[in-house]
Chain A
C-alpha cells in the first residue's frame, strides 16, 4: 500500500534522510523509533507530501507522492495524519473540527458529516464534548479528537507523528487505547513513537532509524528479541531499562 524506495532528503548541507526504503502492506502496523533527530518524523511526513524530498520515490495506493502531476490534496485526503501537538483548529468546536474536511474536501452533506462525526466521537469516547472548543479539553482528549478528525475522511492508512510525546503521563494510555483498538480493527498504521509497550502489543514490524538511515527493519518479535545492529541494541537498552 505504501512503498518507500531510496528516499533521500537534504536541508542544505544537512542530510535528513539517506536512502530510506521500506514497504507497508495493507493492515500492517509499523512502529518507527529511534533517537531524536534521526529523521523518523520527516520520513512519515514525506509519505503524505508534507515534506518534499529530493531523491527516490514514495508510492501510496498507486500514486507517486513526489510526481509533479500528483494532486496532493486528493492524496492527503486518503491518508490520515495525527500530530504531536494535536493541531486542532482552536476557533472551531470539536464537532466542527471533525466535520470541516468531510464537508469541504469530501463534499459530504452537512447532516451526513454530522452523523459521522458524532459516531467517531463516540468511538473515541468524547461525544459529550462535541460542542466544546479544543481549548476546554485536556491534551489526551484533544489528541483523541484529532484521531477522530483524521478517521472522518475514511483514510486508507493512518500516520502518527509522536502522538503521545506532548501528553502528561496520565493521559498517554487513553490515546494509546484508541490506537490499539484502531490497529485491532485492521487499520494500516505507520506510527512514530517511543512507546515500546504499544509496539510490543500491536506492531507487526519495527523500523529503527538513526542519522537519517533505516538501520533496522524487522519483525516485532525479532526486533525486541535480538536487534541485529549495535545502535538499536544501545537504543533499546536505554529506553527499556526504566
Chain B
C-alpha cells in the first residue's frame, strides 16, 4: 500500500506561489487579448465585406479544430525564432512566456469570437436600424450601440471561458514554463512525491475554479433581475 507523505508541500509553497502568479498573469493577458481580437474577428465575420468575413470564419474554424497543446507547441517552436529576428534579441533571452502568451491569445480569440458573435446577434435588428437612422456609420453603430449591449449580455459566458482558459494554462508545461502545474510537477518529481503534489495541484485548481464559477452564477442571477 502506497504511503501518502505530504511533507514536501509546505516548504515548496513559495515556489508553487511563483508558478501560480505566472498562471494568473498568463490567464489575464490571454483573456484580455483574446476578447479584443475575438471581438474584432466577430465584427469581421458579421461585416458586409466578404473577404473579411471569409478570413474570420476560416480563422475560427482552424483554431477550433486543432488541439491547444499543438498550437502551444507550434508557437513555442516558431515565435522565439520570429521574435529574435524581428526584435534582434540575443539567443539567451527567454521567449517562452511571450510565445505561450501569443499562442493562448490567438487560440482563445477563436472561442471568444464565437461568444461575441452570439452577443452581437442577441442585439435586436431594430437597434441597428435606429442607430443607422441617426446617421451613425457601421463603426459607430458597433461602438456605441451594439457592442455595449453585446458585452453586457455575454459577461457570464466571457467569465466562464476565462475559467476554462485558466485551467488550460496548465498545458504550458509542454514548453517547460514554470506555471503552477509545472512547478508542482517539478517538486513532486524532485522529492519522489508526484502523486501527492498532483493531488494537491488538482485540489487547488478545483477550489479556485469552483469558487469562480459559483461567483459567476451568483453574478448572473443578479444581473438577470
Q: State which of A77-85, A196-204, A211-219 sits at the interface with chain B.
A: A77-85
In the assembled complex, the CB of A111 is this many whole angstroms from the nearest CB of chain B, namely: 19
Q: Which B113-162 residues have C-beta < 8 A from chain A?
A: 124, 126-127, 129-137, 140, 144-145, 148-149, 152
Tell whether, in the assembled complex, residue B126 and residue A104 are in contact, meaning their CB atoms are under 8 Å apart.
no
- Does A125 make an interface contact (CB < 8 A)? no
* Residue of B127, B135, B152 touching A87 (CB-CB under 8 A): B127
Residues of B within 8 Å of A50, CB to CB, are 129, 132-133
In the assembled complex, the CB of B128 is this many whole angstroms from the nearest CB of chain A, namely: 9
In the complex, per-residue mask of A55-92: 1 if CB is within 8 Å of any chain B CB, else 0: 00000000000000000111111111101010111110
In the assembled complex, the CB of A19 is this many whole angstroms from the nearest CB of chain B, namely: 25
- Does A220 make an interface contact (CB < 8 A)? no
* Residue of B126, B129, B132, B148 touching A73 (CB-CB under 8 A): B132
* Residue of B134, B136, B152 touching A149 (CB-CB under 8 A): B134
Residues of B within 8 Å of A105, CB to CB, are 134-136, 140
Q: Which A84-123 residues have C-beta < 8 A from chain B?
A: 85, 87-91, 100-101, 104-106
A221–B166 alpha-carbon span in the complex (Å):
72
Residues of A within 8 Å of B134, CB to CB, are 76-77, 100-101, 105, 149-150, 153
A100–B149 alpha-carbon span in the complex (Å):
15
In the complex, per-residue mask of A38-52: 1 if CB is within 8 Å of any chain B CB, else 0: 000000000010100
Tell whether, in the assembled complex, residue B126 and residue A87 are in contact, meaning their CB atoms are under 8 Å apart.
yes
Tell whether, in the assembled complex, residue A91 and residue B152 are in contact, meaning their CB atoms are under 8 Å apart.
yes
Residues of B within 8 Å of A79, CB to CB, are 133
Tell whether, in the assembled complex, residue B152 and residue A48 are in contact, meaning their CB atoms are under 8 Å apart.
no
Closest to A90 in B: B149
Residues of B within 8 Å of A74, CB to CB, are 135
A80–B145 alpha-carbon span in the complex (Å):
18
Tell whether, in the assembled complex, residue A76 and residue B148 are in contact, meaning their CB atoms are under 8 Å apart.
no
Residues of B within 8 Å of A100, CB to CB, are 134, 144
Q: Which A185-235 residues have C-beta < 8 A from chain B?
A: none
A85–B130 alpha-carbon span in the complex (Å):
10
A74–B132 alpha-carbon span in the complex (Å):
10
Tell whether, in the assembled complex, residue A104 and residue B133 are in contact, meaning their CB atoms are under 8 Å apart.
no
Q: Which A152-184 residues have C-beta < 8 A from chain B?
A: 153
In the assembled complex, the CB of B152 is this many whole angstroms from the nearest CB of chain A, namely: 7
Offer 23 A-B interface pairs, CB within 8 angstroms, sorted by A: A48-B133, A50-B129, A50-B132, A50-B133, A72-B132, A73-B135, A73-B137, A76-B135, A77-B134, A81-B130, A81-B133, A83-B129, A83-B130, A87-B126, A87-B127, A89-B131, A91-B152, A100-B144, A101-B135, A101-B136, A106-B135, A149-B134, A153-B135
Q: Report A's interface with B, CB cutoff 8 A.
A: 48, 50, 72-81, 83, 85, 87-91, 100-101, 104-106, 149-150, 153
Q: Report B's interface with A, CB cutoff 8 A.
A: 124, 126-127, 129-137, 140, 144-145, 148-149, 152
Q: Which 7 A-B pairs have the closest CB atoms?
A: A77-B135, A87-B130, A101-B134, A81-B133, A105-B135, A87-B126, A76-B135
